[in-house]
Structure 1
Amino acid sequence: MTRQLEISSMQHAHRTSRLSALALGITGALVLGQVHATGFQIRENSVQNLGRANAGTTVAQNDASVVSNNPAAMTNLDRTTVQADLTVIDLTAEFNGSATSAFGTPVAGGDGGDPGEPTAVPALAVVVPLSGAFEGLTVGASIGAPFGLKTEYDSDWVGRYNAITSDLKTIDLTFSAALQLDEHLSIGAGLIYERAEVTLSNGIDFGAGLAAQGVPGFAPGSADGEVAFTGDNNGIGYVFGLQYRVNDQLAFGYSHRSEIEHDLEGNADFTVPASAAGVFNAFGIHTYDDGAIYAPLTNPAVHTASVQYDFNDRFRMMADYQRTNWSSLESVDIYRANGTPIGQEPFNWQDTSMFAVGGEYDISETLTLRAGVSADESPTNDEARTPRLPDNDRMLYSIGLGWNVSDNLTIDAAYMNIQIDDPSVDVLSSSSSRLVGEFNGHADLFGISARYKF
């Protein structure tokens, strides 16, 4: 009877451990690895914007990315325009620290290696000004990735119980329309169809859990397993905006991107070592059986305001302020397929602000030089930060170049360097191990795009 009670207690404890692992895992897949924008936001849908450190996004004059950044600014394009952008994001990061098990003993393992690798982020947009009876109306469509990226630690690193692989992919298909109301004001709106796919994994220290219940032959790190989660969903959102041109020199723009809700549906797959599986099978414990789960997710709303001032025909400057409503992500709640709640992990995130200043100078009729700098806040903090999101405030520095190959074809290139304030972590894993240390790193972004006007 005593052993049955111990196993029953062990089952409850491990159920809590497993559910926390899943919740942390889903959280991590959605937030890890975004060094180019805080949280898990991706702004790289325009190489022109990249060269200006994301300044001028809602008033861009010759940039088809406004289909999703601010539909109202599509009226700036007077010819059918097709644009393809590709940005490669290269994260370099390193962890310095250590971990201890639930028993206070050291966790063996390395520093995880470099969790980032060069990742390509493509975008495609087309803008079509209409004529005749529809004069003043412009329509457009775009495909882009507004959220997500991938990071992967070594499977045997000291923080494996917190995170190994985290991979989020979102793809947006946006259809927009803009109307020029008069010579000063234009308005626009768009419908967003978003696909979200998540893959993640982290380790589980079955040895520590079984040892805590007094099962002979087990100790921390003696029976490592793993949980992997995959899920996907489609969601609908919208974007609307306006642009006001005071005169030929001064323009203002504003856009609002809505929240997009997802109910991620997928499976939890457990890898349980034979020694631990034998104990579970002997007592009919099914806590670690594979099965279907789902998790509601809300991608945040984003507000962006821009201003552009043309000092003369060759030199112009832009500034942006962007507010991202990360506080809408209060927590990640995990459910069984039958709707039974099985876990919760709080985000404790805050809304963030991004400030950017950039400029362009036309060296000649064929060459344009760009540069910019921006400051970007992190939604997380020292109390809530985990290795799933080794994120902190950062500064972004950019340069870019535009080449008008002909009246129809333009090629743009840009480079951005991101310097991140070193984030520290002091956090417990789902296996009750404690990870303490500090990350340091930076990111380099390289972009190239082609724009063709018919």
Structure 2
Amino acid sequence: MSRTTLFHTSLTSAVVAFSSTPVFASGFALNTQSAEALGAATAGAPATQATPSNAYFNPASIVGVEGLESSLSVVGVINDTSFENANASLFGAVPVQGATSGEAVIGDAAFPTGATAFKISEHLFAGIAAYAPFGFNTEYDAASVVRYHGTFSQVVSGSLTPIVGIALNDGWSLAAGPRFQYIDVDIDGAIDAAGVEAALLMTASVPGTDDVFFDFSANDWGVGYTVGLQGDLTNNIHVGASFISKVEHDLEGQADFDLGTSAAGQNLEMTLGLFQDTSLSSNLTTPAIVQFGLIADVNPSTRLMASATQTRWASFDQLVTAFENPAQPPEVTTQNWDNVWAGALGVEYDISQSDTIRAGVMYEDDPVNPAFSTARVPGAKRVWFGAGYSRDLSDNAELHLAASYVYNDTGPVDQSVTLPENQFRGSLQADVNITGLLFAVGLDWKF
């Protein structure tokens, strides 16, 4: 592999790394889609019947509504994040200068979700659900030692799912629908133009002294599907299972390079054609998700709940990016993430005819392969603690409030210069600390 190709590999890795920063769910998946479910750390959510707000966890949740029912939740995330003990070097020998610690690595966020369902006949139901299934936002100072591995990363997604549900015999129901998913990506970072110039043009430039900053953005619509089943094993035990398919995205976008203050970057553009603004394309597959839920009625006012979720991140193995500029050939970047499980237990108690409280705990494993964990994706195992409250405001309206504390057992960032994609980005070691609070408010109403 030539030095020029190695540089292109490094650049391509920066393009596709947008999809590898953790949020408060498996990888960069978001399961904070319902205020009611968040209050129990999602325990039992796939088994809740006639509950449109939980259609993300199981589309069969729309079956059993009376007339027309809608649900809207707004979820807010407040993060307490930092990085420390960072050190980096270029070409295995030249230390990267810059800040070695910083705050507010992962940004705060707020997003709405919701669903509407209506009864067509005694056995036929229809609805539509809108969610934000994937996303993240991370930022490092442009003067930090992390800059060659990313300065800003953001993914925003949304999905629309029309659902058709059927009430079967003996308390069982089935529902399915297509899933139309949109993803928008924006990532920034720095490239060691001085080091690239010294390696490719044999100049006396000192690595780490002249940077080119870039901004890559891309978006796409993709199509998948979801299907779910619910039923009563006994009069007191209710179960549910659902499947969300993977969605393949063919991202199209633009790469912009800032050469205004980089003499090395200008020289490389003139001599080799690098760093020219150009269109780009990349492939991203979001994972399939399998969800199971159980609700056991202990007595008329108390319910025990459990859930298990597998997120099939093994499909997130390689990302191929191509630039329209012929000087930047297509490359492949390896992720090799793993399929992972999450499990939740919860309890729900009716303190009156109008008021319900709930609580739950969830554990999530980390899908990130340690060999490819970067500053954009400091892999983390997570423990959620949730509490919630619901109140019937009237015969037609119900309010849900929820809060959750998330503790992340974050693994260290350890990028080796021996990886081909780090030939020009260099090595990086750092510790990233992540904790967060989630708040949600939801309103269900019947027309």
TM-score, normalising length: structure 2:
0.93
Per-residue deviation at 1:214? 6.6
* Change in 2 beyond 3 A, CA 1:90/1:17: farther
1:207 has 2:194 as partner: yes
Per-residue deviation at 1:224? 0.8
Give me the whole-angstrom Cα distance separating, in 1, the residues matched to 2:201 and 2:56: 58
* Change in 2 beyond 3 A, CA 1:137/1:341: farther
Give me the whole-angstrom Cα distance separating, in 2, the residues matched to 1:378 and 1:412: 30
Q: Tell me the equivalent position of 2:26.
A: 38
Count of equivalent residues:
438
8 Å Cα contact 2:318/2:333 also seen in 1? yes
Runs of 4+ in 1 over 6 A off after TM superposition: none
Q: Tell me the equivalent position of 1:234.
A: 221
Q: Tell me the equivalent position of 2:359.
A: 371
1:146 has 2:146 as partner: no
Equivalent position to 1:433, from 407, 413, 426: 426
Q: Tell me the equivalent position of 1:409.
A: 397
Q: Tell me the equivalent position of 1:177.
A: 164
Deviations 1:1-36 (A, max 9, x none): xxxxxxxx9xx6355324422333322x212141x1
* Change in 2 beyond 3 A, CA 1:62/1:73: closer
Give me the whole-angstrom Cα distance separating, in 2, the residues matched to 1:357 and 1:414: 16
Give me the whole-angstrom Cα distance separating, in 2, the residues matched to 1:416 and 1:282: 53
Per-residue deviation at 1:407? 1.2
Deviations 1:367-404 (A, max 9, x none): 11110001101101332211110121111111111111
Per-residue deviation at 1:151? 1.4
Per-residue deviation at 1:176? 0.2
Per-residue deviation at 1:96? 1.6
Per-residue deviation at 1:410? 0.9
Q: Residue type matched to 2:21 in 1?
A: L
**What aligned pairs does 1:230-269 form with structure 2 within 5 A after superposition?**
230-269=217-256
8 Å Cα contact 2:91/2:423 also seen in 1? no
8 Å Cα contact 1:48/1:63 also seen in 2? no
Deviations 1:60-106 (A, max 9, x none): 23531333321222124234211110111122211122112225232
Give me the whole-angstrom Cα distance separating, in 1, the residues matched to 2:315 and 2:408: 24
1:108 has 2:87 as partner: no
Identity across the alignment (%):
28
Q: State the superposition RMSD in angstroms.
A: 2.0
Q: Tell me the equivalent position of 2:207.
A: 220
Deviations 1:223-250 (A, max 9, x none): 1112221111111111001111123311
1:122 has 2:115 as partner: no
Give me the whole-angstrom Cα distance separating, in 2, the residues matched to 1:341 and 1:129: 54
* Unaligned 5+ runs, structure 2: none
Per-residue deviation at 1:187? 0.7
Deviations 1:401-448 (A, max 9, x none): 111111111111111111111311110446242111211121111111
8 Å Cα contact 1:203/1:224 also seen in 2? yes
* Change in 2 beyond 3 A, CA 1:265/1:80: same
8 Å Cα contact 1:210/1:219 also seen in 2? no
Deviates more, 1:388-397 or 1:74-83: 74-83
Q: Residue type matched to 1:374 in 2?
A: M
Q: Residue type matched to 2:119 in 1?
A: P
* Change in 2 beyond 3 A, CA 1:281/1:231: closer
8 Å Cα contact 1:190/1:239 also seen in 2? yes
Per-residue deviation at 1:305? 0.8
Give me the whole-angstrom Cα distance separating, in 2, the residues matched to 1:347 and 1:385: 8
TM-score, normalising length: structure 1:
0.92
Q: Residue type matched to 1:392 in 2?
A: A
1:99 has 2:88 as partner: yes
* Change in 2 beyond 3 A, CA 1:13/1:288: farther
